[in-house]
A = this chain, B = another copy of it.
Amino acid sequence: MTSNDHGTEDRLDNDAVAELYEIANSIYDQLSAGKVPKMVIPLRTKSNIRFDPKLGVWKYGKAAGARSAKKTKGAQMLLRTMYVLEFIEDMIAQNKSSTLREMYYISEGWGKGKFSSQDESNLLAEDLEIVTKCMREDFKLRPEENGASVIGNLVLTERDRKGKVKKINCLDDVGDSGYGIPYNVEKDKIRLVESDAKFVLAIETGGMFDRLVENGFEEGAGALLVHLKGQPARSTRRFIKRLNEEMKLPVLSFTDGDPWSFRIHASLAYGAIKTAHLSEYLATPTAEFIGISASDILNYELPTDKLNDKDIQALNAEKTDPRFKDEFWKHEIDLMLEIGKKAEQQALAKYGLDYVTDTYLPEKLTELGIMK
């Protein structure tokens, strides 16, 4: 994927290799010209994300830092980069992949290029994404695990590790735990074939996912239920984005009512700060929040817990987060601070096990015009 094709096109492995060569060439050219080599990289901070009105997502702004070989630390970082480039090239050639952690351990053999902490190897992987505009997955660097799953009337094909293409109906062909979303959901791996669902419901907790499944909500309401497993992994966000773009399905996030859950929605809808360089690829700007809000806590008289210091801190931080700048979020964040309370999505069980599927969700979905 390059920044021009809006995250919907496939990217071939050799494109990724070409981008990596470009980095190596740039370092080589700087050295040949007698310059101290450096890599320039955008600052990855909350203050350096900007709304991209064309794409409707938040991306990095212009503030940048340099990894220069002038200092020992920068020089080591560049040396590591070279080792990593070679490692990735080898993996692509051998059709292998590796976790970031494995790469960290493999660096044991890189002499002075050895990573001194896992953070360093994670950071470098992000750097490479940002500089090349490729994704970690293109470099065959995969996340530790996903574990998210989907249930609903969706047919897809997955090309498995041995190259065999399997057609899977995420309602009929899977057990009650659903179809497990793999860590790579690009088009060479997953093709979305068909679905008669009306919307995608992204659910924070396993307890609520199982509740909706037990209550048959996916069939009754025509929903694709996606279990986010807390803060959603990149492949989960990408998968949801593809459902939104390719199947034209509206996306709704259904989370707990606390500052951390607001962030889950933000990363799904607007992009996460750590992956703002990939926002147009991972975020679903039209996603709507139907999780527990501060207003819901009052309107539905939900059982609550008191906000702790960390919650209050997080809410205050959200007040300066550009992703939460609209009226809805301003109001809800202030209200939550005012009432000093949070609530879990399962708190709806106060009114019985069917309340969420008989009352709460239909009310919210009708409000949004998705259910009649």
A interface, CB within 8 angstroms of B: 91, 96-99, 101-103, 105-106, 108-109, 142, 144-147, 149, 158, 160-162, 166, 168, 172-183, 205-207, 209-211, 213-214, 216, 227, 229, 303, 344, 346-350, 352-353
Whether the pair A349, B106 counts as a contact (CB closer than 8 A) is yes
Given contacts A101-B346, A146-B206, 19 further A-B contacts (CB under 8 A): A99-B211, A102-B207, A102-B349, A106-B352, A106-B353, A144-B206, A145-B210, A147-B177, A158-B175, A158-B176, A161-B176, A161-B214, A162-B216, A166-B174, A166-B175, A175-B180, A176-B182, A177-B181, A180-B180
Q: Is the CB of B99 within 8 A of A207?
A: yes
Which of B98, B177, B213 is within 8 Å of A349, CB to CB? B98
**Most interface-central of A210, A344, A348 (chain B CB within 10 A):** A210
Closest chain B residue to A206 by CB distance?
Answer: B145
The reply to whether A173 and B166 contact each other, CB–CB distance below 8 Å, is: yes
Given A147-B229, A177-B180, A303-B108, the answer on whether A214 and B102 have CB atoms closer than 8 Å is no
Chain B residues within 8 Å of A211, by CB: 99, 102
Residues of B within 8 A of A207 (CB): 99, 101-102, 144-145
Whole-angstrom CA separation of A146 from B176 in the bound complex: 11
Q: How many copies does the complex hold?
A: 2
CB contact between A346 and one of B105, B214, B352 (< 8 Å): that residue: B105
